[in-house]
Amino acid sequence: MKDRKGRGPRASIAAGLVGALLGGCASELVTVAPAPPAQFERLGRAEGKACGMLGFLATAYHFAPIGLNSRVERAYRAALESKPGATALIDVTMSEDWAYGLIGTFRCVTITGEAIK
């Protein structure tokens, strides 16, 4: 049996699977840095870095996230801890570096910004 556009059930199933797979790659928006208070004191530049790994075995089989999902939050926390008394960051930038390893890919996030209190 074919649909209105002349496609068979295999095409419909394939389209549904592709849609489901692409939809599974979506996530919610995450606020990295909270909004600053009306008045604050600048403490200077702060930087924090956190890494995770996506792996096991050969490149085509990287499937197990290890410390990957929390690395942005950990990098932000490390940046705050780099300046004593800091409660937040403003002018935040984030960069990501990655490299292949023997058992997976290593992915590191660096958060930099102006520390405030």
Encoding tokens for residue 117? 């209190």
Q: Give domain 34-116's CATH number out of 3.30.450, 3.30.110, 3.40.50, 3.30.420.
A: 3.30.110
Nearest to 49 by CA among 1, 16, 94: 94
- Cβ atoms of residues 52 and 66 within 8 Å: yes
Query: Residue 31, exposed/middle/buried by CB under 10 A (0-12, 13-18, 19+)?
Result: exposed
Judge whether 30 and 94 are in contact, CB under 8 Å: no
pTM score over 0.85:
no
Convert the pLDDT of each residue in 76-117 to its tens digit.
Answer: 999 999 999 999 999 999 999 988 877 778 899 999 999 999
The model's pLDDT over 16-72, given as tens digits with 9 standing for 90+, comes to 777 666 665 556 666 667 788 889 999 999 999 999 888 765 555 556 778 888 899
Q: Which of 82, 14, 19 is nearest to 48 (CA)?
A: 82
Which residues pair with residue 111 across a beta bridge? 48, 94
Q: Is 23 helix (H, G, I), strand (E, B) or coil?
A: helix
Per-domain boundaries in the chain: 34-116
**97 φ/ψ angles, rounded to the nearest 5 degrees:** -125, 150
